[in-house]
Structure 1
Amino acid sequence: MQWQAIVDFDGTISEKDTTDCVLARFAEPGWEAIEDDWVAGLIGSRECMERQVGLLRASPDAFDGFVESFAIDWGFAFFVRVCQRHGVPVTVVSDGLDRTIHTVLRRAGLAGLPVIANHLEPVGVDRWRLTSPHASRDGSCNSGTCKCSVATSLGRPATILVGDGRSDFCLAERADIVFAKNGLIAHCDQAGVEHRPFSRLAEAARALDDMLTGVVPAAASHHIKDLING
């Protein structure tokens, strides 16, 4: 079976929501009101982040220096090694900021991993612009990064999703194996999506290794067993 692993960044690889941390540090007043509109469902995440990024006031050096301090779940390196051992490509797919993700992964020694996210670029001395090259082309998704479209574009027939929140909801209902934490657990429970809860990525890595080597717990769905057995 040709698997691909899609791993969320904020709250999954990173310990905190790094975009919120950046906004709290560098954004002018008003970003939280925009966030409230997104939480209430009045706007999509793409519009939310475009407007919030317009409020950032930081030089590129100040921005990069700040995000270099962000902590990650170091079990992610273990998860990547497990996937590499089984020939499963890992892609970090996020509705967050590519500049932040690249900076954090580079510091963690994981700079070679492909990253798909919203593109953040500096404009002038301390202003920023956000573009969303991986948004849905047909308007069916209002996220900056449509993870379902990304999964299709990566071209492998079976998808492993590791995520924690709203940007993962749609793909969770299509993926073949789902590892979920935080809000994604509640969504999967409500939607009837088979998933494996986790709190640390090392747990997900060990469980995935068992699945891909055929040591599948009895609680796993028949669908997953069929996929693994070919």
Structure 2
Amino acid sequence: MTIKIFCDFDGTITDSDNIVAIMKQFGPSETESIKNKVLQQEISIREGVTEMFALLPSTLKEDMITSVKQKALIRPGFSEFIKFIQKQRVEFYVVSGGMDFFVYPLLDSLIDRSSIYCNEADFTGTSIQVNWIHSCDNICKNECGLCKPSIIRKLTKSEDYKIVIGDSITDLQAAKLADKVFARDFLAAKCEELDITYTPFTTFSDIQIELESILGVNI
């Protein structure tokens, strides 16, 4: 059995959502209503994130990077979890609706960039534009922005055992494709609402214990 793990970044690998934090610190008041529309599925993730970043001037780039580096915390147990799955030769991919300017710096010492899928922020104009380089395939019609289901279909075969780890609305469509879901916060609530079986987690140590059982490993 080939196990492939697809893990969210904001609010999952980190203890909070970095886009939300950026908008609270740097964004105008309009970003709050846009965020709520995304969570309530009134507008697509792609539309909402595009609108929010377009409200920020490109001159904020270095300030935002500094802020994220200072405030973002990696969830307990993550580095140990990465060492464990590398030892077990389990494929691990970060699939993030976040932006390259903060995802890469926070993961550089832990994950090879070739295993990270995220969006590109373009600072060449007066306001920040988002390059949606991992958009939906011809199967997905959800305007995900970064389309996690499309990435899963691209990187897996039907016989692979697919694990999704996440916390938010951006992980919901991916969770529907998974053989095993680890969820917290908003994703856990949506899984309960839609009767999707999931395992709750607080730290990556919780996930590792469950994965050891799946693999039949005793550490």
Using the size of structure 1 for normalisation, the TM-score is: 0.84
Q: Secondary structure at the match of 1:127?
A: coil
In the TM superposition, 1:201-216 aligns within 5 A as 201-213=204-216
Q: 1:187 aligns with which of 186, 190, 197?
A: 190
The counterpart of 2:91, out of the listed 74, 80, 89, is 89
- In structure 2, what is the equivalent of residue 99 of structure 1? 101
User: For this pair of structures, how many residues does the alignment match?
Assistant: 212
Q: Which moved more, 1:68-77 or 1:6-15?
A: 68-77
Mapping of 1:167-182 within 5 angstroms?
167-182=170-185
Quote the Cα distance in structure 1 between the aligned partners of 2:178 and 2:216.
19
1:71 & 1:115 partners in 2: Cα distance? 18
For 1:41 and 1:132, how far apart are their aligned partners in 2?
Answer: 19
Aligned partners of 1:9 and 1:92 also within 8 Å: yes
Deviation at 1:214, TM superposition (A): 6.0
Structure 1 residues 69-101: Cα deviation after superposition (integer angstroms, max 9, x where no partner): 111113111221221122111111012222211
CA deviations over 1:115-170 (Å, ceiling 9, x no partner): 1122112125x632102111213351221111111111113422111111211112
Are the equivalent residues in 2 in contact too, given 1:188–1:195 (CA < 8 A)?
Answer: yes
Aligned to 2:40: 40
1:211, distance to aligned residue in structure 2 (A): 1.3
Query: Cα RMSD between the aligned structures?
Result: 1.9
What SS class does the counterpart of residue 137 from structure 2 fall into? coil
Q: CA-to-partner distance for each residue in 1:29-73, whole Å, 9 max, x for gaps?
A: 421222233233321010001111111134332222111111111
Q: Which amino acid aligns with 1:154?
A: L
Q: Determine the C-alpha separation between the residues in 2 that align with 1:15 and 1:214.
A: 27
1:221 aligned partner: none
Query: How far off its partner does 1:111 sit?
Result: 4.4
* Aligned-partner Cα distance in 2 for 1:180–1:63: 28
Which secondary structure state, in structure 2, belongs to the residue aligned with residue 144 of structure 1? coil
Query: Secondary structure at 2:122's aligned position in 1?
Result: strand
CA distance in 2, matches of 1:76, 1:117: 19
Q: Distance in 2 between matches of 1:182 and 1:211?
A: 24
User: Which letter maps to 2:185?
Assistant: N
List, as ranges, runs of 4+ consecutive aligned residues in structure 1 with deviation greater than 4 Å: none
1:16-31 to 2 correspondence within 5 Å? Answer: 16-31=16-31
AA aligned to 1:101 is V
Q: Distance in 2 between matches of 1:35 and 1:187?
A: 17
Structure 1 stretches lacking a partner, 5+ long: 216-230
1:22/1:214 Cα in 2 relative to 1: closer, same or farther (>3 Å)?
same
Aligned to 2:13: 13
TM-score (norm. length: structure 2): 0.88
Structure having the higher Rg? 1
Q: Which residue of 1 aligns with 2:201?
A: 198
